[in-house]
Amino acid sequence: MKKFAIAALLLLTPLLMNAQENFRERAEFSGYVRGSFQGFSKNYDLSNVFAQFALKGKYSGKHTIFNAEVWFLGGHHFGEFYNRLEIMDAYAGYVSDKFDFLAGNQIVKWGRTDGFSPTDNISPRDYFFLTSDIDDQLRANLMARIKYRFNPYIDLDIIAIPFYKQSNYRFDLFDMGGMAKFGEETNPEFSFSNATLAGRLNFELPGAGFSLSYFRGFDPYHGFNLKGIELDINAPNPMPTINYSSTPYRKQTIGADFAIPSGSWIFRGEAAWNITKGGDDSLFIPLPSLAYVAAVEKEFWGVMGIFQYIGRYTPSYKPIFEPQPAGTDPDQMLLYMGEMVEYQTRLFNRKIFGQQKRSNHAFALTARRSFAYDTITAELTAYYNITSKEFLLRPKLSWTIADNLSMAIGGHIMTGEKESLYDYSGPVMNGLFLELKASF
């Protein structure tokens, strides 16, 4: 038996060595170390300071693929110290010329417009993870994904997500009068009926690209539901506490997008018809709406410019009116207080959904230029919402110091009318950022 084992080991050793050699040839490992700082907001001297070690691994065989990215983070985030491990991408699958099947944690971006994408409903975001790269806010979903290629120009992408994951808003950091309290999130029960299904038929033709998409599930960009009102009658000056919970809503989205190059111009467009039920009765559910973006991209004198019009149309919109006190009777005052809280909650959710009016109009402009043999890049993004009168400005300067070392410096400026979303978020999220990143 011992002789057989030795003989087997001698026979297998060359095969194992060959397999290891093949693995090393097909596997790729990379990563980076980053130090990031953001501060000087109205409410926080240091709003987001952290050190990060990211490790990436990728393997591509004849019919096998795996991809993984792990983040190790430690720092100070809005007044709290933390150390945590985050698994970003972590999926494996079968790939071939015609058919792919992938399963695991994946980040998926749909749509052809930048920054504002109405059909991009798959991956949630952590809006309060503040770095120099907006895409760092994307978070993975556990999913099964099938892609079938009919030919080199047409493919079908189908996604199934069993567990719901919310985007992170952190409205608990905002100064909203002292009475609002944001508690634990409310998520749908795990069941097949609550799973998310999505599909996209994509065309990449020589002269244009476009796609048709469908989404059915709970939207990662949720609303807030009123959970109750508490009043401590034993307090010297009793004040009500209004309890809220971030609560998802179910929707269907039928979407389309396109990108058409014409000489040195690129024209892009995207639209999504969002179908919801219960928006008239439930506070946290938006009304059905059509969201759309039209964009044009062009380089002028070495400056790459992207201009976007962002709109939303809510055909069943009805204005809501502030309730008026009916009298000084205690029962009437309690009734008025309840109506007032419901009115403020509905108004707040309409701001989140961009449904303050029947039509919502905004513009965005991004300008980017490289200098010093592409080692320095200056970028400026500006956004203005005509309907809500909110303004955002984001300047950024990137510098490639060496082959594997880069630095970024910039800032966030958000402002808006009183009690607008940017008015609440500006004192928390405004500030300057500085990052140093070493890659390997």
Query: Mean pLDDT lowest for which of 123-137, 224-238, 394-408, 418-432?
Result: 224-238
Q: How far apart are alpha carbons 271 and 69 in whole angstroms? A: 32
pLDDT at 234 over 60: yes
What DSSP letter does each residue of 78-142 carry, written as one string?
TTEEEEEEEEEEEEEEEE-SSEEEEEEEE-----SSSS--TT--SS-BBTT---S-GGGGB--EE
pLDDT at 145 over 70: yes
pLDDT at 1 over 60: no
Query: Mean pLDDT lowest for which of 137-151, 225-239, 265-279?
Result: 225-239
Residue percentage of the chain with pLDDT more than 70: 92
For 190-200, what is the mean pLDDT? 93
pLDDT at 13 over 70: no
More confident residue, 396 or 18: 396
Report residue 274 as tokens: 């969002």
pLDDT at 9: 38
pLDDT at 238 over 80: no
Mean residue pLDDT across the chain: 90
pLDDT at 5: 42
Q: How far apart are alpha carbons 77 and 82 in whole angstroms? A: 7
Which of 14-18, 166-170, 198-202, 298-302 reaches the highest mean pLDDT?
198-202
pLDDT at 367 over 60: yes
Report residue 16 as tokens: 């194992």
Q: Which of 93, 41, 24 is nearest to 63 (CA)?
A: 93
Report residue 337 as tokens: 């207080």
pLDDT at 30 over 70: yes
* pLDDT, tens only, 110-126: 999 988 999 999 999 99
Contact 101, 93 (CB under 8 A): yes
pTM of the model: 0.88
pLDDT at 15 over 60: no
pLDDT at 332 over 90: no
Q: What's the Cα-to-Cα distance from 371 to each of 302, 397, 401, 438, rounded to whole Å? A: 10, 11, 13, 21
Residues in the chain: 440
CATH code of the domain made up of 2-439: 2.40.160.10
Helices (H) and strands (E) in the chain, counts: 3, 21
Q: Which of 58, 50, 49 is nearest to 31 (CA)?
A: 58
More confident residue, 349 or 325: 349
What DSSP letter does each residue of 24-69 carry, written as one string?
HHHEEEEEEEEEEEEE--SS-SEEEEEEEEEEEEEEE-SSEEEEEE
pLDDT at 11 over 60: no
Q: Give me the residue spans of the domains in the chain.
A: 2-439
Band of pLDDT at residue 371, cut at 50, 70 and 90: very high
Band of pLDDT at residue 19, cut at 50, 70 and 90: very low
